[in-house]
Chain A
Amino acid sequence: MSFMQEDIATTLYFDRTFNCEAAKISPGEYYYTDNDMLIVTVLGSCVSACIRDTKTGIGGMNHFMLPEGAGADKDSPVSESMRYGTYAMEVLINQLLRNGAKREHLEAKIFGGGNVLRSFTTNNVGDRNAAFVKKYLKEEGIRVTGEDLLDIYPRKVYYFPKTGKVLVKKLKQLNNYTLVKREQDYSSKLKTNEVAGDIDLF
């Protein structure tokens, strides 16, 4: 039995620049809040959907990439890869709905999908991630009110769910390879862990 579950981010800190509580999320994590706080992440080829209820201001952000699925069917709607992406979106949206958000009031802003990993560019990992998140939201009827996708630079995204405001900083000079390393680790973790949960009780 092996799991590749999305986890709630646990890195909370006080952000001095914005003078508020902040949650920092890493690949494979998500965070949601009803409070007036900041959610921050750094994206390479991964994507983040920032989703909020425009009436109540509860909102959250995820951070994921599609696993590099096996062979020719990786873009088929039922591939392991697509099922993982669907799951990563659903986990965040379910938390918002469970905490009072209404589906018809949801709006999304989407970021990332940069082709930043040199070894990945041939596979267009960023393109696939960006295309997935756009298609998903369209099919689920969730309005996209802002996006900054693709290109070749990593991005730092600051999201204020209460107001829906987003600040994006393109990191044109990446001083170290922490980000690249982190995404590669995440990607290989997705590959080595079978993307499935299995519980047998019956």
Chain B
Amino acid sequence: MADANTKFLVVDDFSTMRRIVRNLLKELGYSNVEEAEDGQNALNMLRSGDFDFVVSDWNMPNMDGLTMLQNIRADAKLSSLPVLMVTAEAKKENIIAAAQAKANGYIVKPFTSATLEEKLSKIFEKLEKGEA
């Protein structure tokens, strides 16, 4: 289990889904969570904040989750930030694109809290081993 102070940014254009993810994270012991409503908004927050982890939707207006991920990886300061995609896109092309853009994990909606917990702990485990 990672540090309970891990600072999360939840990115989704639906406030209902942001609240669901925020509440699930809280259930898992993470209460240091902020929200952004699209990729552009998220990038601005990431560049000026000290976030440790991003959980992001794919389909969003202004800037989608994939473009945001590509921007994160291309940014010297943010490039190693862990990003977990949580999206309704289940097509193979989407998943391959996310993997190529170096997402740390991919969850397809609708998802269970067990799935979220499992993905998070896998990512933290890899980070500790220095693999991610």
**Number of chain A interface residues as a range:** 20 to 34
Decide if B32 is an interface residue (CB 8 Å cutoff): no
Interface string of B100-132 (1 = CB under 8 A from A): 000111111111110100000010000000000
Compute how far the CA of A199 lies from the CA of B84 in the bound complex, rounded to whole angstroms: 12
Compute how far the CA of A202 lies from the CA of B126 in the bound complex, rounded to whole angstroms: 10
Compute how far the CA of A82 lies from the CA of B19 in the bound complex, rounded to whole angstroms: 11
Residues of the B chain whose Cβ atoms lie less than 8 Å from the Cβ of A196: 108, 110-112, 115
Given A78-B20, A103-B61, A202-B104: A139 in contact with B110 (beta carbons within 8 A): no
Task: Tell me the residues in window 180-198 of chain A with beta carbons closer than 8 Å to chain B beta carbons.
Answer: 194-198
Name the CB-closest residue of B to A194.
B112
Asked whether A139 lies within 8 Å of B16 as measured between CB atoms, the reply is yes
Asked whether B14 lies within 8 Å of A140 as measured between CB atoms, the reply is yes
Task: Tell me the residues in window 3-18 of chain B with beta carbons closer than 8 Å to chain A beta carbons.
Answer: 13-17
Residues of the A chain whose Cβ atoms lie less than 8 Å from the Cβ of B14: 86, 90, 93, 140
Task: Tell me the residues in window 48-96 of chain B with beta carbons closer than 8 Å to chain A beta carbons.
Answer: 59, 61, 88, 90, 95
Residue from A77, A78, A136, A140 having most chain B Cβ neighbours under 10 A = A78
Compute how far the CA of A5 lies from the CA of B20 in the bound complex, rounded to whole angstroms: 19
Given A78-B20, A86-B20, A196-B111: A202 in contact with B88 (beta carbons within 8 A): no
Residues of the B chain whose Cβ atoms lie less than 8 Å from the Cβ of A82: 20
Given A78-B113, A199-B108: A3 in contact with B59 (beta carbons within 8 A): no
Asked whether B90 lies within 8 Å of A199 as measured between CB atoms, the reply is yes
Grouping DSSP codes into helix (H, G, I), strand (E, B) and loop, the B interface class, with mixed when no group exceeds half, is mixed
Residues of the B chain whose Cβ atoms lie less than 8 Å from the Cβ of A144: none
Compute how far the CA of A87 lies from the CA of B107 in the bound complex, rounded to whole angstroms: 13
Compute how far the CA of A5 lies from the CA of B105 in the bound complex, rounded to whole angstroms: 20
Residues of the B chain whose Cβ atoms lie less than 8 Å from the Cβ of A94: 59, 88
Name the CB-closest residue of B to A98.
B59
Asked whether A197 lies within 8 Å of B59 as measured between CB atoms, the reply is no
Residues of the A chain whose Cβ atoms lie less than 8 Å from the Cβ of B90: 3, 5, 197, 199
Decide if A97 is an interface residue (CB 8 Å cutoff): yes
Report the number of A-B residue pairs with Cβ-Cβ less than 8 Å. 82
Given A86-B14, A140-B15: A97 in contact with B112 (beta carbons within 8 A): no
Given A86-B16, A202-B103: A78 in contact with B108 (beta carbons within 8 A): no
Name the CB-closest residue of A to B103.
A202
Asked whether A198 lies within 8 Å of B111 as measured between CB atoms, the reply is yes
Asked whether B17 lies within 8 Å of A197 as measured between CB atoms, the reply is no
Asked whether B99 lies within 8 Å of A202 as measured between CB atoms, the reply is yes
Asked whether A90 lies within 8 Å of B112 as measured between CB atoms, the reply is no
Q: How distant is A202 from chain B, measured CB to nearest CB, in Å? A: 5
Task: Tell me the residues in window 90-140 of chain A with beta carbons closer than 8 Å to chain B beta carbons.
Answer: 90-91, 93-94, 97-98, 103, 136, 139-140
Residues of the A chain whose Cβ atoms lie less than 8 Å from the Cβ of B105: 202
Q: Sorted from nearest, which 10 A-B pairs have the closest CB atoms?
A: A197-B108, A87-B110, A78-B23, A196-B112, A94-B59, A87-B109, A84-B110, A196-B111, A83-B110, A86-B16
Q: List 10 A-B contacts (CB under 8 A).
A: A80-B110, A83-B110, A84-B110, A87-B109, A94-B59, A94-B88, A103-B61, A139-B16, A197-B107, A198-B107
